[in-house]
Amino acid sequence: MLLGSILNAVYLSFGMTGLPILLIKGTKSLEDENDEVRGSIHQVREQLRKIQEKYQKNQKNIVSQKDRYLLKRLRKEEKILETKQVLIANKMDKKNTNSTSAWRYISLLLKLVTPFRVAIGFGCLAMSSLFILAVFTTCFERFAKSECGLNCGYLLERHTWFNLLDSLLV
């Protein structure tokens, strides 16, 4: 039971802290992400061009094993980035065509809440941390102070450790 409670708290802790961290960190707009991908594609193509120029000047046209591996990796990366750019372009087109749907109003609401996003994120993070701390405190208190241990399911007659969540709710 104690192990189950600890595993449950660990499992739930990511979900409880994921949203606040996302709110605090924020997300990139599609335009920014598209610009970043376009820049990455440009860098990869520049590296490909440098390697190809290096061997065009060579009369033997023998590509070293290291450069052959690098060319293969760069071409694969270029293909992945181009696919990502196409997906972003599709999302941007879809966003422009669906501007009359309910998502338009949801987007407007989220834009209005944006200045408070960080404050809401820190508030949610504080509540999540409080909840996780309370669960861990209760689990460890039961493990340390239970008189009958596993036989009775780590029951306590009275709480001896301070638990902030218990004191706030009681």
pLDDT along the chain (170 residues), means of 10: 72 76 77 90 92 76 83 93 91 70 72 82 85 80 75 70 74
**How confident is the model at residue 103, as a pLDDT?**
66
**How confident is the model at residue 101, as a pLDDT?**
65
Structure tokens at 62: 């023998």
Task: Residue 165: give the domain boundaries.
Answer: 2-169
* Nearest to 17, CA basis, from 122, 114, 115: 122
Domains in the chain: how many in total? 1
**How confident is the model at residue 24, as a pLDDT?**
78
**How confident is the model at residue 84, as a pLDDT?**
93
DSSP string, the chain: -HHHHHHHHHHHHHHHHHHHHHHHH----HHHHHHHHHHHHHHHHHHHHHHHHHHHS-SS-PPPHHHHHHHHHHHHHHHHHHHHHHHHHHHHHHHHHTTTSHHHHHHHHHHHHGGGHHHHHHHHHHHHHHHHHHHHHHHHHHHHH-SSGGGGTS--SS--S--HHHHHH-
Residue 7: which residues within 8 A CB-CB, separation 6 or more? none
Buried/exposed code over 20-50 (b: 16+ C-beta within 10 A; e: otherwise): beebeeeeeeeeebbeebeebbeebeebbee
